[in-house]
Homo-oligomer: A and B are copies of this chain.
Amino acid sequence: MVKLYSSEPYRISYMNEIPGSVGTSASFILRLGQTLFSSASLLFMSLGVEFYSYTAFCYLVTIMGLVIPWSFTLALVDGYSVLVKCPIRQPGILLIIVVGDWVLSTLTLAAAASTASVVDLLLNSQGSFCPIKLCCRYRISAVMAFVSWFLSLASSLFNLYLLPSL
């Protein structure tokens, strides 16, 4: 109801000022970063052949398999929006993007934390379960997943900040 009073030109100029929201070049860079770090995390984890013996590692691979297509699709949408200079401004679509980003970032965080704790346990246990080279790769994979979580969260927050002004 309150929204009815706001003037249209003010809204449009205000909306375009938020960097990182859907359809800006900052958002495009964020999405590319998500795709890149998720792919790196997936590759570092799955090119070693032993990952499926640990639940946490399987979970990480599953989640990264969800994050990569999501981020890549939104990167394409952002790139297209920047080229044609016509960003998405439908509240419904933006809400889906915010919720999707948020759910995926939560899942990514859980996967990254699980992987990190399992790697820590494997490195510190006396039995020496994994060769040191393999464990370092698992650790790099966890760090990449944390970076991907952070970027995904940033996208979600920028879009959430834009949402009430639509």
Residue in chain B with minimal CB distance to A160: B160
Residue in chain B with minimal CB distance to A5: B5
Number of copies: 2
Docked complex: A70-121 residues within 8 A CB-CB of B = 106, 109-118, 120-121
Is A49 located at the chain interface by the 8 A CB criterion?
Answer: no
Give the chain B neighbours of A117 by CB distance below 8 A.
55-56, 59, 113-115, 117-118
Give the chain B neighbours of A110 by CB distance below 8 A.
109-110, 112-113
A91 nearest CB across to chain B (Å): 13
Give the chain B neighbours of A6 by CB distance below 8 A.
1-2, 5
Cβ 8 A contact of A10, one of B1, B5, B10, B118: B1
Number of interface residues of A (CB under 8 A): 28
Give the chain B neighbours of A113 by CB distance below 8 A.
109-111, 113-114, 117
Is A127 located at the chain interface by the 8 A CB criterion?
Answer: yes
Residue in chain B with minimal CB distance to A105: B106
A54 contacts B2, C-beta separation under 8 Å: no
Selected A-B contacts with CB under 8 Å, 9 pairs: A1-B10, A55-B117, A56-B120, A106-B109, A109-B113, A110-B113, A115-B117, A121-B121, A125-B129
Other 6 A-B pairs with CB < 8 A, given A5-B5, A109-B110, A121-B121: A2-B6, A5-B6, A55-B117, A109-B109, A109-B113, A114-B116
